[in-house]
Amino acid sequence: MNRLRKRVRIGKYAIPALLLITLAIGTVAAAAYVILTFTMTLPIAEHPRVYFWNEGTTTEANTFILSMDIFPNVTTIDENATWNIRSTGAGKIFIRVSAMDSEVDKLNITAYDGATTLFAIEWTGGTTDWGTGYDTGSGTTDFDLWIEVTGASGISSGTASVTVELKVEEP
């Protein structure tokens, strides 16, 4: 009988001891977190190495709006758009259409400097990826823009818009 009482006493402490051991193991197995920080110095520049240039007003800009009238099944051409692309050093640019309304059937853009063509691209709807990069050459170069927009069949009124983005690679 004495032996049975010892077992009961051991059993009496078994649950708190088991709980204590579980907590100890759980605490050892808990994840440790480390927070690392860094500080960036970000000088503010007015324009990147490539930007838009209005030849008539000598205005520099990071964005511009071009307005053209379009017609169904007709290609409207702006042979020398008021806004050009100016490059002030060597590097690459990438171009894409990030939005194009269904009223626009086709968009062609060519950037050129005299006999040198920076790029000639055609889009036929929807958004596109950045595609291949184009070398802008060294020194300051102004690239004129030739823009062709073909209206979709069946459009009659309203407005359409196309958003073209230029990504500048800073060497």
| CATH number for the domain harbouring residue 56 | 2.60.120
Residue 138 lies in a domain: yes
Place of tokens 């100016």: 86
**For the chain, how many residues are written?**
171
Residue 28 has pLDDT above 60, yes or no: no
Domain tally for the chain? 1
Residue 3 has pLDDT above 70, yes or no: no
Of 112 and 29, which is predicted with more confidence? 112
Residue 114 lies in a domain: yes
The strand pairing partners of 150, in sequence order, are 75, 106
- With CA atoms as reference, report the closest residue to 168 among 84, 99, 91: 91
Given this model, what pLDDT does residue 131 score? 83
Across 22-27, average pLDDT: 65
Of 73 and 28, which is predicted with more confidence? 73
- For residue 107, CA distances in Å to 21, 70, 137, 163 come to 72, 11, 25, 11
Mean pLDDT, the chain, whole residue set: 84
> Are 81 and 67 a contacting pair, CB within 8 Å?
no
d(CA 129, CA 86): 22
Residue 103 lies in a domain: yes
Of 8 and 87, which is predicted with more confidence? 87
Residue 40 lies in a domain: no
d(CA 34, CA 49): 39
d(CA 30, CA 6): 36
Residue 90: give the domain boundaries. 50-169
- Tell me the CA end-to-end span of the chain in Å, nearest whole number: 89
Residue 119 lies in a domain: yes
Residue 4 lies in a domain: no
d(CA 69, CA 165): 21
- With CA atoms as reference, report the closest residue to 69 among 128, 155, 164: 155
Residue 79 lies in a domain: yes
| pLDDT over 90 percentage in the chain | 46
Residue 28 lies in a domain: no
pLDDT in tens, 90-136: 889 999 999 998 899 999 999 999 888 999 999 997 778 888 899 98
Residue 4 has pLDDT above 60, yes or no: no
Q: pTM score, two decimals?
A: 0.72
Given this model, what pLDDT does residue 80 score? 83
